[in-house]
Each structure stands twice: as structure tokens, then as C-alpha cells.
Amino acid sequence: MMTRNYNRIDYEKVLSTIDSFIKNKVDNRSIVIGLSGGIDSTITCALAVRALGPDQVRGILINNIRYGEDLLNETRGLASDLGITLKEFNSGNVRNEFIGTLNIPEDDIVKVSTLDARITDIVIRTYAMANNSIYLGTINGTERLTGWYPKGALYGDYCPIGDLLKGQVQELGRIMKLPEKIVSSVSHDASKICSGCGELPAFKGIPYDTLDQILYIMETTDPSEIILTLKENNIQTEHFIPVLIQVQSVRHKTSIFPPYPEINHWYKKEF
């Protein structure tokens, strides 16, 4: 039995692979990335600047009630540090129109968060269309596999971090020397899989690190050996069963996920 660890990957190779992926998909066109101040959008933007330079990268900040002035200023500062153009769009009126007209309960955080995500997606897509640009999504591998994103939204035309689990994104952020405040903002509780987007009750009590470990084993193991491998790596049944059920239940979302650079499949042959 060999111990699996999702962070034992070649991060220099990861950077090189994502560099090539972005350059090959984007070519000479500009790209648009939605910035939220979180680690996923920050690292996607930093990766794009690394691959293309700041002149080809545009950021868009969707300003609504979910973002305080401190976070808005941090995002503006990030764009400035990366040297990219930043466009701001206040979605408050559109958001309120949806909530009021369609009677969406404002205290239902999942429904309201889903609405916010869909508004954000259409604004970014429209901005990209207006500028003949490519929309780079910011959904990470943990969110992709667990379906923790609105179907059809936020993954863009291409998604550079679509195969990187959250812990891998975090480690890559450290290697790229992103601000520690952003890198360390990842929850330790898997049920809070997306900050500010409500909880996934089935994951309550599962450490985020364990969630990524389970997903990594699922990605790098022959399907017939997944259960045995999980047990051999001392992952508790009460932890992996809810994850397996969740992943299976969201296949309908991941079947339309856009191209992303495959990372974790490198390690399938090693086990």
C-alpha cells in the first residue's frame, strides 16, 4: 500500500502546464477574469499574467451587497499590483430586481448566492463579448468534482485551475508568493466549501484536507479500487461515503465543464 497525498505533485510542472494551456487557448486575444478577492480568482489572474503579461489581462469586479469596502479595496489593490486593467460593475439594482420580482427569500443564502453567481457570470461573459475577449473561469477542482457551483456558470470558456484541488491551489499560491492573507483564507471545514455561499450539510465534520484527499484518490485510482485505497489510506467510511455520493449526484454538471489542463491524472500510473 502506498500513501496518497494530493500535495505531492510537481508544482513547477504544474506552472509550466498551465502556462502552455493558457497560451495555446488564448493566443493573441485578451482575456477577462472575474475578481472577488478570494484565492481562486486571485491565482487564476496571477497565472494569466504570468503566461501572457498584464496587457492581455482584464479584470472585472462585481460590486454588490456581498462585498464590503475592505474587500473591494483589496481587490483593487491586487489588480494594481498585477498591472492589469480593472473594470467595476455594480450589480445591486439587477440583484434587487430579481429578488423582488421573483420573490427570492433574502435569508436563503444558497439561493441568493446562486443568483449572485449567475449575475456575475453573465456580466463577465458580456464584458468578454464586448471586448472580443476570452473568459477564464475560476472554479477549482474541488468545486468541479463536488458540483459546488451553479450549473453552467463561472467556469468560463476555459478554466486553468479546473483540475487543481483547493489545497493544491493554496500551495501553488504560496509558491507564487501571493499575499498570505489570501492563501490562508481557505476554510478547514469541508461543509463550508465556498466562503459565503452557504454550507453543504452532508460534509459537516469532514476536514477540508480530508475532502481533497478523498477527491485525489478518486481522480488517480482505478474505479474498482477506490474504496480499498481510501481505507488503506486511513480515511474513515463516514467521511468518504458522503463525498462519493455527492460526486456521483453532480455528474450532470461536470459533463459540460469546459477544457482545463489535466494535472492529477499524471499520477494515475504511479500507483
> 147-182: per-residue pLDDT in tens?
888 888 889 999 999 999 999 999 999 999 998 888
Query: Looking at residue 269, what is its pLDDT?
Result: 56
Query: Looking at residue 105, what is its pLDDT?
Result: 93
Query: Looking at residue 121, what is its pLDDT?
Result: 95
Residue 194 to residue 4: CA distance in whole angstroms: 25
pLDDT at 234 over 80: yes
Give the chain's length. Answer: 271
The mean pLDDT value of the chain amounts to: 90
Mean pLDDT confidence for 207-231 = 93
* Furthest C-alpha separation in the chain: 57
> What confidence tier does 65 reach under pLDDT thresholds 50, 70, 90?
low
Given a contact cutoff of 8 angstroms between Cβ atoms, the answer to whether 172 and 22 are in contact is no
Residue indicated by cell numbers 496571477 = 46
Q: Which cell is 98 given?
A: 430579481
Residues 6+ apart with CB under 8 A from 63: 72, 88, 89, 90, 91, 92
Q: Which residues of 147-169 are buried (b: 16+ CB within 10 A; e: fewer)?
A: bbbbeebbbbbbbbbbbbbbbbb
pLDDT at 202 over 90: no
Mean pLDDT confidence for 84-108 = 92
Alpha helices in 66-198 (DSSP H): 69-82, 92-101, 109-130, 141-146, 166-175, 180-183
Coil vs helix vs strand at 186: coil
All domains in the chain, ordered by first residue: 11-270 (3.40.50.620)
